């Protein structure tokens, strides 16, 4: 790998002020802000993922806000996550964020809404394929595996179509420090038939299980924006699959007391599989 190049140049005052403002808002150093802006301008950032906190922290009940919806939007237009105190499932599509709560409602949170965990990217399809007669979640995962190019890279996934059947769950608001398995035991589940919508999310390699949910992790957002949640099961006659392949991960760790004092040394895989619904973590 070639050594990083160095540049020395003079910036106009307006650009310098803008970089300083971005650095304050995002937590990036000035060097990181320059690299990010150049990447965005040269269309290199579309292969990057921006992530707030880790799956291991969620397992331990670290649900305190580490960023805001506004910060999420600055770094991507597609993704998923959750909200402070595990208050529902988060979906991000075409730049807009949505919150599916345990009462079945879906709303658009304000930009000031705090989030403890989120994964976002600027989605642009690298591979596409039409899936016919999707029989189950396991069948869908098998087809996505054949479409991916490597088990060692993260992939953002979007599936559009009419869902003959979809089974989702939504997390319910929990007290800080409640471990994820206990919190998930109080989740609400919903089943829908004949709804048009999008399944969106990510594939994460097994080796990165302390960072993100390993395997396939998808959320539903219906076209009418009335229903959503974490996908447990699905059937569809036809789905348009799009994969966005990524090779660059930007991970922002919380600086709150709960994260700094949490014991994150344990392997979270078993707890994630149980909390996420077992089949929903198939790799």
- Same structural domain, 97 and 112: yes
**Positions of the chain with pLDDT under 50:** 1-2, 278-283
Q: Is residue 2 part of a domain?
A: no
Neighbours of 2 (CB within 10 A): 4
Please write the tens of the pLDDT for every residue from 204-244: 999 999 999 999 999 999 999 999 999 999 999 999 999 99
- Same structural domain, 207 and 234: yes
pTM for this model (two decimals): 0.82
- Same structural domain, 28 and 152: no
The answer to whether the beta carbons of residues 222 and 195 sit under 8 Å apart is yes
- Same structural domain, 35 and 54: no
- Same structural domain, 56 and 72: yes
The range of the structural domain enclosing residue 30 comes to 11-42
> Measured between alpha carbons, how far is 72 from 78 in angstroms, rounded to an integer?
9
- Same structural domain, 37 and 114: no
> Measured between alpha carbons, how far is 8 from 25 in angstroms, rounded to an integer?
24
Q: Is residue 155 part of a domain?
A: yes
Contacts for 80 with CB less than 8 Å, ≥ 6 apart: 89, 90, 91, 92, 118, 119, 200, 201, 202, 217, 218, 219
Q: Is residue 1 part of a domain?
A: no
- Same structural domain, 115 and 190: yes
The answer to whether the beta carbons of residues 88 and 82 sit under 8 Å apart is yes
């Amino acid at each position: 790998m070639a050594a990083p190049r160095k540049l020395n140049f003079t910036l106009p005052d307006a650009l310098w002020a803008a970089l300083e403002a971005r650095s304050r808002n995002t937590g990036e150093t000035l060097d990181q802000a320059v690299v990010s802006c150049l990447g965005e301008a040269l269309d290199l950032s579309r292969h990057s993922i921006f992530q707030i906190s880790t799956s291991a922290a969620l397992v331990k009940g670290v649900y305190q806000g580490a960023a805001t919806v506004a910060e999420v939007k600055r770094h991507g237009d597609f993704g998923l996550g959750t909200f402070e105190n595990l208050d529902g499932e988060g979906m991000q599509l075409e730049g807009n964020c949505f919150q599916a709560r345990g009462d079945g409602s879906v709303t658009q949170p304000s930009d000031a809404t705090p989030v403890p965990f989120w994964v976002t990217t600027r989605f642009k399809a690298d591979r596409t394929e039409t899936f016919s007669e999707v029989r189950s979640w396991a069948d869908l995962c098998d087809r996505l595996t054949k479409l991916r190019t490597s088990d060692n890279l993260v992939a953002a996934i979007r599936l559009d179509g009419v869902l003959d059947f979809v089974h989702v769950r939504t997390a319910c608001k929990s007290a800080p420090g409640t471990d994820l398995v206990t919190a998930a035991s109080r989740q609400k589940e919903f089943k829908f038939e004949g709804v048009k919508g999008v399944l969106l999310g990510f594939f994460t390699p097994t080796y990165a299980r302390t960072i993100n949910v390993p395997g396939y992790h998808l959320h539903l957002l219906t076209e009418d924006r009335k229903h959503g949640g974490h996908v447990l099961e699905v059937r569809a006659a036809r789905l348009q699959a799009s994969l966005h392949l990524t090779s660059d991960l930007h991970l922002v760790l919380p600086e709150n007391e709960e994260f700094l004092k949490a014991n994150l040394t344990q392997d979270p895989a078993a707890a994630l599989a149980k909390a996420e619904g077992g089949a929903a973590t198939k790799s």
